[in-house]
Amino acid sequence: MPWRVFPWDPAAQPGEPFSSSYIHPSQGSGRFDIPGKLVVYLAETAVHAVAEKLQRFRGQRIDRKELIESGKALALVECGLGKLKLADLCDPSVLVKYGIRPDVLASRELAKTQAVAAGLLKEGFAALRWWSALSGDWHTIVVFEGAIEYGAPELLTIGHPAVQEASIALGISI
């Protein structure tokens, strides 16, 4: 099951800002964003989801104030994807079948990577899986279409195991 970290307001209703299912409407600059679609970036592990939020603190010391974003405490939520049709771009046979080159996927040129995502959507895929820019050991799932089920959010603390492990992986002191 994939994971997401987000600034949480327990009073927010589903789809509202600071709820687990909220996607900011001005997105569009992400590696696999598709113009006109709100895509959701998820991490395959809780540690990876936390690391994506903490990466800006590499080489620094953090405390609980770094676990606050937009005035809200960060929370971790597990997500269910059901039976979405997923293009596993870590599988070389998938790359060959759809004519996708790994160097294009890893490109910093968003036009190239976003074109791959749009092409997969046209092929009937609802999501893709690719390795994280943070580590080849971590994988991201990008959902273009379909329902995501969100579990109960869990507040992140400095002592949370995922925060501890992500901090070690990123060279962050606590």
Q: In a structure prediction context, what are the per-residue pLDDT tens digits for the chain, which is 174 residues long?
A: 899 999 999 999 999 999 999 988 776 678 999 988 889 999 999 999 999 999 999 999 999 999 999 999 999 999 999 999 999 999 999 999 999 999 999 999 999 999 999 999 999 999 999 999 888 899 999 999 888 999 999 999 999 999 999 999 999 999
Summarize pLDDT for 60-97 with one digit per residue, the tens: 999 999 999 999 999 999 999 999 999 999 999 999 99
142's tokens? 């990008």
In the chain, where the domains are located: 3-83+130-170
Distance from the Cα of residue 55 to its chain's centroid:
13
Burial of 164 (0-12, 13-18, 19+ CB in 10 A): middle
pTM, two decimal places: 0.93
